Structure 1
């Protein structure tokens, strides 16, 4: 690529700026092929029938946002708007509906949602936001439930979903967001659900919370502002003794300079039981740090979208991508 000729006019200066910017954005190559980037988690070769792109559509349903693969890899559970589906995916490229169960928000909750000035056309529904495998016989799921989060267990019979009983529906505050537009994350570890979401109707109180299981329910302290009010969660990844949460928020440490949005990682210990006098029912092992995602000579990547745990040669040295 030739360097643009310089002149004294502004257009030449603009051309030089764009040229330098393009040089930064172009991927660098290593002579001899010595450098190797991150390897993909799944790899298919040309001609492999599993590469077939498949589409699934069910009339009357939308917002297929939450996915869960069964342990044997034969069934894909899908959380949609006011319904949960079980898809048979044993035949590559041909997903087949095994069965579907409805889970709509009640008429009373929808009326309350509309009364609070939310849209009864796009918001006042039950959007499934959490769908995890609790054990071999049950799934655990949570939804927005018309801005009144709710959770329940779903019984499985030969990977088929059994209907939900209304008397088994529980409050889901702190596990599912109120607003379907808010980002969230949840992971089930040793029978306990670790979730990151918004904890109030206004969407101004982010929370990291542990529920279910035999351990005490713990959460972050909103009064101490452990999280900025605009925190947005993207992933939760368990490790041997801790659980990591990945999110983005406005960095309060730079308030003197400007409102800087940054990526974060937070950590809590699995054996945390909360404080005895101080921090009762609160995390005592909560720590967070800024994620420095950048490459030499390039701008930092301060907007995080997802994080996954990569297989490692040693279980004591996992890598997060």
Structure 2
């Protein structure tokens, strides 16, 4: 037989090439996809409005021509057979150049449960002629119009265009006469020129208008300057509106965006001679979300905002996602950045109690108004009868709605910053673990990923701490996440896209099933030592939130060194001399931008850190942080351990078989090896084809979105 001593060198590299590419391909597909508990869809109906009603245990979903009522326990158990809300003015809408299949439909944009869940207020675009309804919560059928006067015309209550932003809240108590009313912030005309903050007519028990509607002053940029409305809340004697708008203070030096909070008094009935049927209590202030420094870096564009009540202190805190505000020229060369910032209600009201701001001429700077120039009673303060206010007070508030001081963000810095990403929606869930309070923030980006962030205050270090503990990929083919709400009672997160609603567990401890280190860092999860798996703490015992149990591991603050090392099992790997081995330890998709240092993931060989660099082509690190060792040698034998932030993730015993592998010596040995490599090569080509196809589909989806 002829010896094969003169085979080309690349033949012996084939196993390395194949295995390396297989590892890369598996890493590209990633393990970040989060499987939902349940899913609801009746087709592409643009599910963009979500309203959670604790009284009825239902999630109301506003969509195109539909209102759905979903079971919070299992949204998949809900029916698509609900009353339809067809548009009334489709032909007229098409005549002004709007699209038949999308714009000239009826998109339900406001959904508000009423009277402890008995009824639901609904407002839709109605083919660019907004209309509203009151429906029975039980079956979503329409209520007789006489029961709720003033219902039928939705102008100023919800948008004309389904792509316009708006916000609204139904207020049942605290209004003049204690009559119920809708407070809204939207666009009041087809041309999008008339933006307003609005309260509907107040009707008495005889269905007579007791107090006519109120609105913001029209076409005055000091009040509203091309705003995008984000959220509204009924708190005490006020209603608060959050939005972003063109900053009129920068009118002389170019266009800039500011995020704002505005406040009106619920007892407001407008002025008598000045501000008749306009708010006499409207004031607004800038929201300061920035990274401090000699030149602060501002995140000026508010995208989403939620309210959270802290049980221990009864303090009200607002959490919002903000993006950097870039003009068109800057955006072409600089990627946007995003942040999550928090604001307390006390700090907001403090800003409203400060100095006013004014511009005395179109060419002068904006400066604070001296206290001596502010009339009494103080403009913007709630009074029992606003029609009795002096004209000079009303004239002052009409011309000075802007406060001089911005609302300072909690802790003086963002809770979470993400570069080259636009964060959109968010929700927050307060929880307790190891006897400490934590806030879990879920925030979505434009690609459909959701970041799970924990936030707490370390009283010993006197530091505000935040850490990303997981990243979920949720909408691989659906495009952007349109809305999110959370039900702490059902421990579920509900995520909406144009195609479907997904229900996730806020804990999702199964994602850490084989990773003790990640499990112990999640305040919703504990590592069960006996079962060697990760479990939802609520499924084990609520007492674990307060009292530790040696049978269950948790280390949310990462204060105990190698807490998981004793429970990580050794994995045995045997490889033949000269071949390639892949030590796989999938790690959740967490990167440097999430607060995790690049060097926090470390591989050691026999307790010595491995040197992995571009110059070392024999030992490679995959994109999922696995280890590939090519052309194995006898010195590669031993223990391999991977750690993340000092916590052990995986441990391996590597054995190198020096007797079983020899280079092909005969023609038959060569043919056998050649066929094996050909089979692997065909497998590689198949995987590469699938990968390229998925990348092409993803690119087309992103382009169409």
Regarding TM over 0.5, the answer is yes
> Which of 255, 258, 263 is 2:259 aligned to?
263
Q: Distance in 1 between matches of 2:224 and 2:266?
A: 23
Provide, for residues 177-227 of structure 1, a one-character-per-residue CA deviation record: whole Å limited to 9, x for no partner: 111111000111223211110111011211000115455411001143344
Q: Does 1:206 align with 2:206?
A: no
Cα offset for 1:110?
0.8
Cα distance change, pair 77–84 in 1 and its aligned pair in 2 (3 A)? same
Alignment of 1:33-52 (within 5 A): 52=36
Contact 2:134/2:142 (<8 A) preserved? no
Q: Look up the match of 1:219.
A: 215
TM-score, normalized by length of structure 1?
0.76
Which contiguous aligned blocks of 4+ residues in structure 1 show a shift greater than 3 angstroms?
163-169, 212-216, 223-229
Q: Which has the higher contact order (CA 8 A, sep 6+)?
A: 2
Matches within 5 A, 1:14-29: none
Question: In 1, are the aligned partners of 2:225 and 2:247 still within 8 Å (CA)?
Answer: no
Question: Greater shift after overlay, 181-190 or 68-77?
Answer: 68-77
Q: What CA distance in whole angstroms lies between the structure 1 residues aligned with 2:303 and 2:253?
A: 25
- Which residue in 2 is equivalent to 1:307? 305
The 5 A counterparts of 1:134-145 are: 134-135=114-115, 136-145=117-126
CA distance in 2, matches of 1:217, 1:166: 19
Q: Take 1:318 and 1:252, find their aligned partners in 2: how far apart are those partners?
A: 29
Name the TM-score, length of structure 2 as normaliser: 0.36
Q: 1:283 aligns with which of 251, 263, 279?
A: 279
Max Rg structure: 2
Please give the alpha-carbon distance, in whole angstroms, between the structure 2 residues aligned to 1:182 and 1:233.
9
Q: Classify 1:211/1:314 alpha carbon distance in 2 versus 1 (closer, same or farther; 3 Å).
A: farther
Q: Distance in 2 between matches of 1:245 and 1:139?
A: 22
| Structure 2 unpaired stretches of 5+ | 1-34, 173-179, 204-210, 320-705
Q: Secondary structure at the residue paired with 2:249? A: helix
Residue 166 of structure 1 and its aligned partner are, at CA, apart by: 9.1
- 1:272-308 Cα distance to aligned partner (Å, 9 max, x none): 1111111111100000111111132462111101111
How far residue 72 of structure 1 moved from its aligned partner, in angstroms, is: 3.4
Q: Which residue of 1 aligns with 2:168?
A: 186
Q: In the aligned structure 2, how far is the partner of 1:163 from the partner of 1:151?
A: 11
Quickly say closer, same or farther: Cα 1:196–1:103, change in 2 above 3 A. same
CA contact (8 A) 1:207 1:227 kept: no
The residue aligned with 2:243 is 247
| Contact 2:247/2:257, CA 8 A, preserved across alignment | yes
RMSD: 2.3
Match of 1:9 in 2: none
Take 2:99 and 2:80, find their aligned partners in 1: how far apart are those partners?
Answer: 32
Distance 1:154 1:134, change over 3 A: same
**Contact 1:80/1:127 (<8 A) preserved:** yes
Q: How does 1:43-82 map to 2 (within 5 A)?
A: 52-59=36-43, 62-72=45-55, 74-82=57-65
Q: Which has the higher helix share?
A: 2
Tell me the matched-pair count.
Answer: 264
**Comparing 267-276 and 116-125, the one that deviates more:** 116-125
Deviates more, 1:172-181 or 1:228-237: 228-237
Give unpaired runs (5+ residues) of structure 1: 1-50
2:141 to 162, 166, 169: 162
